[in-house]
Amino acid sequence: MRVIIVSLACGLVGCAGAPEPMLRSNAKFQLQGRQAATLDVAVCQRKAEMSGLKPGTENRSGNIAAGAGLGLISGAAVGASSGLIGGLPGVTIGAAVEATLGAIIGLVGGAYRPLEPDPPYADAVVRCLFDKGYEVSGWQ
């Protein structure tokens, strides 16, 4: 069971990356096309990083760890309470099973929590893209 959890966590951490701005489909985006817009985003991100700003530290691996910890605690609590109802031998087994399930659910849920960039970095990137004619609708 540990192998499955570790494999799942490693696979999900592999998806981790820096947050990217999502562009609205405005006139500039339509005129330039997706490839040129992607290049402009990269240029603006590079400008922000060259000025000493960092994209932020909140990433999928941090989200996964937080989700797994919360899932583990809540799963153990549910398992222990359901084990009490079923009798004394069920306490240990129920808590272990529910804790494992809670951790797995927490891993998956934590991996898909939205990424939020560092505010000064986000402001610099959004301002740069705005100056180029783009509109940012959020971050992914």
pLDDT in tens, 3-17: 444 444 444 444 456
- Domain definitions of the chain by residue range: 22-58+115-140, 59-112
Q: What is the pLDDT of residue 84?
A: 55
At residue 78, φ and ψ (nearest 5 deg) are -65, -45
pLDDT tops 50 at residue 109: yes
Q: How far apart are CA 80 and CA 99, in angstroms?
A: 9
**pTM for the full model?**
0.52
Residue 123's Cα: distance from chain center in Å? 20
pLDDT tops 50 at residue 126: yes
Task: Quickly state the pLDDT bin for 130 (edges 50, 70, 90).
Answer: very high
Nearest to 93 by CA among 105, 79, 81, 107: 79
Query: What would the 3-class secondary structure string for the chain be?
Result: CHHHHHHHHHHHHCCCCCCCEEECCCHHHHHHCHHHHHHHHHHHHHHHHHCCCCCCCCCHHHHHHHHHHHHHHHHHHHHHHHHHHHCCHHHHHHHHHHHHHHHHHHHHHHHCCCCCCCHHHHHHHHHHHHHCCCCEEEEC
pLDDT in tens, 45-69: 999 999 999 998 554 455 556 555 6
Nearest to 117 by CA among 14, 17, 42, 18: 18
